[in-house]
Amino acid sequence: MNKRTASSKLFSYDLHGGGEKVQVMADARNSDLDEAEFPRFHSGVKRGDIVGIFGFPGMVKELTGGYKIKYHANGLDKESIEIYFTPF
């Protein structure tokens, strides 16, 4: 896991597993933590921690017509990875 901070209200994580990588954003506007708790919580997240992530699959379906997208991590001329956003 790599972590970057854009501000005290926005953190970016590169999560790696099974030979794949996904980037997620933690935005204080979508958090139940208050303004002081949010950066304190995220500053404590470290490599090896188990994290849960939720997103907006409805937005993916509205934009693409489905819950599955093809991600070209290594360029359009390379093999794509299918990512599923199917809601639970």
Residue 15 shares a structural domain with residue 44? yes
Give how many domains the chain has, as a whole number.
2
Same-domain check for residues 43 and 3: yes
58 and 47 within one domain? no
> pTM surpassing 0.75?
no
Any residues with CB less than 8 A from the CB of 87 and at least 6 apart, and which? 57, 58, 67
Q: Give the other-Cβ count within 10 Å of 24's Cβ.
A: 13
pLDDT at 37: 92
**pLDDT per residue rounded down to tens, the chain (88 residues):** 788 888 888 998 888 777 777 788 888 988 889 989 999 988 888 888 887 777 777 888 888 888 888 888 888 898 888 888 877 6
Q: What is the pLDDT of residue 17?
A: 74
Q: How far is CA 24 from the centre of its chain?
A: 2
Domain span at residue 33 reads 1-53
Indicate whether 46 and 69 sit together in one domain.
no
Residues 45 and 13 in one domain: yes
